[in-house]
Chain A
Amino acid sequence: MFLKRRFKRLLFSATVLTVSGNLFAAPCCGSGFTIPSIITSDDKAQLATSYTYSRIHADVFTNGDWRRREKKDVTEVYKIEGAHIFQDLYQVGLSVPYQRRTRDGAQSDSSAGLGDISLQLGYEYLPDWDYNPLRPKGIGYLSLILPTGKSIYESDDGSGIDARGRGFWGIGGGSVLTKSWGSWDANFNLEAHYSLPKSVSNDTTTGRVTPSYGGSTALGVGHNWESVRLGGLINWFYEAPTDVTGTTPSEGTLKRYASGSLLMSYLFKSNESIVLSYSDQTLFGSPLNTSLSKSVTLFFQKRWQR
């Protein structure tokens, strides 16, 4: 019974981690705020690597109109994520993305390099050592985003093909809640973040960019059969307007969208699992002022028991 429950939790853990790693992606401006690795199982450490292929399907304007993207605009992200428990309830995490973007059209080009690195400190404020039938497991976390990826404001030719990050220091916090009942499980994530303003100077503009707040929430469910888990998840994202002062003053517009994901996890060893997921940003919500992508992620995770 204990082993069966542990198997489910391991599968569940891999799924939560896979999805949380793809939280916010602003196609014009590189990947954005992401939650790094979180240990939601009973393990002491985990290491994961993933590959995501993402293609922009449409753009949504500020008035809610959609327009199909005719030319190929593809982003591939290779990511390494790790997390380790310390003092039983605390954990630290790190996420390092390497990104390649390829675009067709008048500015057909390709560029690759480091994205924004994120660090995390987590605390398990609702432990679940006794597998309580009602109480979920709760992990709170603080995140720090390092602007290691070049942003659109530092783009060499201004085209943004080499923009792999948002370009801002970011701090955030949130909580993940997980729970399983029999062969079913559910997860919930709520996160808020704040990006710090910065001064920019390039061929187009000289001034100060103020990005402000953002947040996301996710709700997922899954069903388990022995070593296989099938799950679904919806993420809602919100980003406050980005205002600019200087030679090109402007007031931004809020961005929002939702992403629906289908995930299949397979636990092929007691401490190793693989996840295949499909995410589609065109299916849910009422998107505004954003580009919408469809993506496939292949994710491999190895864990070490306490």
Chain B
Amino acid sequence: MQGTKALSFFLILFLLGSCAKPRYVDGLEGKLDGITGDCGLLFSTEDLCLKTEWVQKPTESTFGEMTLSFVDRNDDSRFVDPIKDPFIVLWMPSMGHGSSPVKIERVDVGRYRATDIFFIMPGPWDIRYQLRDGFDVLEEKIQKITI
């Protein structure tokens, strides 16, 4: 009987000591920013600056959409098509996997629309802006976000 009481005491102590301590945070979609600044993201292989703007931020319920603008590094009023293919990868480095593919279509010279942007689970993600030649990534710039 004494043994049972002692075992119960240590079990309760052990369980209390093992309790999780959750630190909940709210959804962070509202803090998703586009890429702005003087040059935004510089792709030095083509002397281009990339700026992005969210049209629709992705949530658990909706796909996201953004516009991409490539401008000359030395003249930000001149829109330029990159020679290589612009590509966006949504990547979760902590887990080692990506999300569903993002669609990119050319709207005008140097202007592209990215749609179907969706993060398959909350957490820290990379938005990887790439210039690709087939499967070869020639240059990549990474925007780190938590969603």
Given A67-B27, A285-B18, CB of A61 within 8 Å of CB of B98: no
Cross-chain contact B61 with A250 (CB below 8 angstroms): no
Q: Which residues of B contact A27 (CB under 8 A)?
A: 121
- The dominant DSSP class at the B interface is loop
Given A62-B124, A209-B96, CB of A284 within 8 Å of CB of B18: yes
Q: From residue B37, how far is it (CB to closest CB) to chain A in Å? A: 25
Cross-chain contact A158 with B99 (CB below 8 angstroms): yes
Q: Which residues of A contact B18 (CB under 8 A)?
A: 234, 258, 284-285
Interface size class of A (residues with CB under 8 A): 35 or more
Interface size class of B (residues with CB under 8 A): 35 or more
Cross-chain contact B96 with A244 (CB below 8 angstroms): yes
Q: From residue B89, how far is it (CB to closest CB) to chain A in Å? A: 6
User: What's the Cα separation between A282 and B122 when bound, in Å?
Assistant: 16
Given A106-B58, A106-B59, A158-B101, CB of A242 within 8 Å of CB of B124: no
B95 interface residue (CB < 8 Å to A): yes
Which residue of chain A has the shortest Cβ distance to B117 in the bound complex? A106
Q: From residue A278, how far is it (CB to closest CB) to chain B in Å? A: 15
Given A66-B22, A160-B120, A258-B20, CB of A28 within 8 Å of CB of B4: no
Q: Which residues of B contact A209 (CB under 8 A)?
A: 96
Cross-chain contact A106 with B122 (CB below 8 angstroms): no
Q: From residue B13, how far is it (CB to closest CB) to chain A in Å? A: 13
Q: Which residues of B contact A88 (CB under 8 A)?
A: none
Q: Which residues of B contact A160 (CB under 8 A)?
A: 97, 120
Q: Which residues of B contact A252 (CB under 8 A)?
A: 93-96
Cross-chain contact A67 with B25 (CB below 8 angstroms): yes
Cross-chain contact A67 with B118 (CB below 8 angstroms): no
Interface residue from A69, A107, A242 paired with B122 (Cβ < 8 Å): A69
Interface residue from B4, B19, B27, B60 paired with A106 (Cβ < 8 Å): B60
Cross-chain contact B22 with A250 (CB below 8 angstroms): no
Interface residue from B23, B89, B146 paired with A66 (Cβ < 8 Å): B23
User: What's the Cα separation between A202 and B100 when bound, in Å?
Assistant: 10
Given A66-B25, A184-B7, A248-B128, CB of A152 within 8 Å of CB of B97: yes
Q: From residue A193, how far is it (CB to closest CB) to chain B in Å? A: 17
Q: Which residues of B contact A205 (CB under 8 A)?
A: 89, 91, 98
Q: From residue B126, how far is it (CB to closest CB) to chain A in Å? A: 7
Q: Which residues of A contact B97 (CB under 8 A)?
A: 28-29, 152-153, 160
Q: From residue A67, how far is it (CB to closest CB) to chain B in Å? A: 5
Q: From residue B52, how far is it (CB to closest CB) to chain A in Å? A: 19
Given A157-B100, A248-B98, A250-B93, CB of A282 within 8 Å of CB of B61: no
Given A70-B60, A285-B18, CB of A61 within 8 Å of CB of B124: yes
Interchain Cβ contacts under 8 Å between A and B, 19 examples:
A28-B95, A28-B120, A29-B95, A59-B122, A59-B123, A61-B122, A62-B124, A64-B23, A66-B24, A105-B61, A106-B58, A158-B101, A202-B98, A203-B101, A204-B90, A204-B91, A248-B98, A253-B94, A284-B19
**A residues adjacent to B (C-beta < 8 A):** 27-29, 58-59, 61-62, 64-71, 105-107, 152-153, 157-160, 184, 202-206, 209, 211, 221, 234, 241-244, 247-248, 250-253, 258, 282-287, 289, 291
7 pairs of A and B residues whose beta carbons are closest in the complex: A242-B96, A250-B93, A204-B98, A158-B100, A253-B94, A203-B101, A59-B122
